């Protein structure tokens, strides 16, 4: 990259920071979901704390710790569903699981792309696990039930569901096939319905195998959310849309869902976590050039960045580590980064059981026609 290109990226990032600051002061749609103080504490302070405490583990080193290095049949018989597994963090998770013998079900929209990606991985290293591809489009709730029906018809157990896929801060309002704001539809609603429909299978697996797990991709951005108004923000309409504001609220909703399921189903030996992977230039937010320049391509947060392999580590930890059930039971741990339970801040930590039930009811009302 040339000097002028680098300067252009820095300028683009600076403009985005300036626009966010202005909206935090003046824009009702942004102010209703996040604030300058919460954004600074949740993202800036949080990112630096994460950077300073980063153990430098990778997804593969976590699997090696659990399974034993070179024990490539250790996960034989285990079945994991991953959304968004054809690129980024989901792909790294799938690679490590397949390498150690797991049956990975790719929940994806393009079977040809998924098959090509797996073939490319197999050309580089031996993968002893099995890959299955089942179509789902997370911006269309009507595709969720057919995905679940196809999976259940395979008569497999389900040891872990990884709700990995997501989008970040489209600069303009976009609607899903059902008319829901796109971040809410993809980050929240499709995963909500998918989890709801797979819960009986997870419970069955927990009874026969001793446990099952659900991992949600949260974010420090979720800690930047200070409030969720069920009337105006679940979901936001075009007139109340804020790219960064709605991203913080959808990540917060993922975290609240994880906390709610954790509290409700730990007794069933279904262990539920939300994870912050780190700040990783994985293509998330690629449709928003200002955000990409500010958070990923520019220099302002570059020192806090993780590699893809490091970013996928905490998901692997929560999916596989024997420490997770212990910490769920003894500490009530559900929020993780750097492969350790963390103290959650922001609205996700303050949402009362009553609010959690109201959010659950609102999501069910939106999803029930497709269940």
- Degrees to nearest 5, angle at CA 89 with 19 and 257: 75
Reduced DSSP (H G I as helix, E B as strand, rest coil) percent helix, strand, coil of the chain, to 5:
55, 10, 35
- Alpha carbon of 91 to those of 65, 120, 150, 357: distances in Å? 20, 12, 22, 33
Q: Looking at the chain, which runs of residues are DSSP E strands?
A: 79-83, 103-108, 130-135, 160-163, 212-217, 270-275, 335-337, 340-341
Q: Which of 72, 192, 216, 241 is catalytic?
A: 241
Cβ proximity of 189 and 363 under 8 Å: yes
Q: What's the rounded Cα separation, in Å, for the pair 153 and 101?
A: 22
Cβ proximity of 9 and 221 under 8 Å: no
Longest dimension (CA), the chain: 60
> Residue 296 catalytic?
no
H helices of 210-296, in order, are 220-223, 243-265, 289-291
Q: What residues are annotated to the active site?
A: 241
């Amino acid at each position: 990259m040339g000097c002028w290109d680098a300067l252009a990226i820095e300028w683009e990032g600076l403009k985005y920071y300036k626009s966010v600051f202005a909206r935090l002061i003046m824009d009702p749609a942004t102010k209703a979901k996040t604030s300058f103080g919460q954004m600074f504490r949740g993202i800036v302070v949080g990112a630096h704390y994460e950077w300073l405490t980063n153990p430098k583990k990778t997804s593969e080193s976590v699997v090696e710790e659990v399974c034993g290095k070179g024990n490539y049949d250790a996960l034989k018989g285990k079945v994991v569903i991953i959304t968004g597994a054809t690129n980024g963090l989901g792909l790294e998770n799938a690679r490590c699981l397949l390498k150690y013998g797991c049956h990975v079900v790719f929940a994806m929209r393009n079977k040809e792309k998924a098959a090509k990606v797996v073939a490319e991985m197999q050309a580089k290293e031996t993968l002893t696990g099995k890959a299955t591809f089942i179509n789902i489009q997370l911006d269309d709730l009507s595709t969720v039930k057919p995905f679940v029906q196809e999976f259940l018809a395979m008569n497999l157990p389900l040891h872990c569901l990884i709700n990995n896929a997501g989008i970040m801060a489209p600069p303009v309002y976009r609607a899903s096939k059902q008319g829901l704001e796109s971040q809410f539809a993809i980050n929240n609603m499709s995963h909500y319905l998918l989890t709801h429909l797979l819960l009986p299978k997870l419970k069955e697996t927990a009874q026969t195998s001793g446990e099952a797990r659900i991992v949600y991709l949260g974010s420090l951005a979720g800690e930047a959310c200070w409030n969720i108004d069920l009337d105006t923000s679940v979901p936001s309409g075009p007139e109340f849309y804020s790219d960064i504001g709605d991203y913080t609220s959808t990540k917060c909703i993922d975290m609240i869902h994880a906390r709610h399921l954790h509290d409700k189903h730990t007794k069933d030996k279904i262990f539920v976590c939300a994870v912050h992977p780190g700040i990783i230039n994985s293509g998330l937010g690629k449709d928003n050039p200002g955000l990409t320049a500010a958070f990923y391509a520019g220099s302002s947060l570059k020192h806090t960045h993780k590699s893809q392999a490091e970013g996928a580590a905490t998901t692997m930890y929560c999916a596989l580590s024997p420490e997770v059930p212990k910490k769920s039971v003894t500490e009530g741990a559900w929020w993780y980064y750097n492969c350790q339970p963390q103290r959650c801040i922001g609205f996700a930590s303050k949402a009362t059981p009553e609010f959690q039930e109201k959010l659950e009811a609102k999501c069910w009302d939106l999803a029930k026609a497709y269940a």
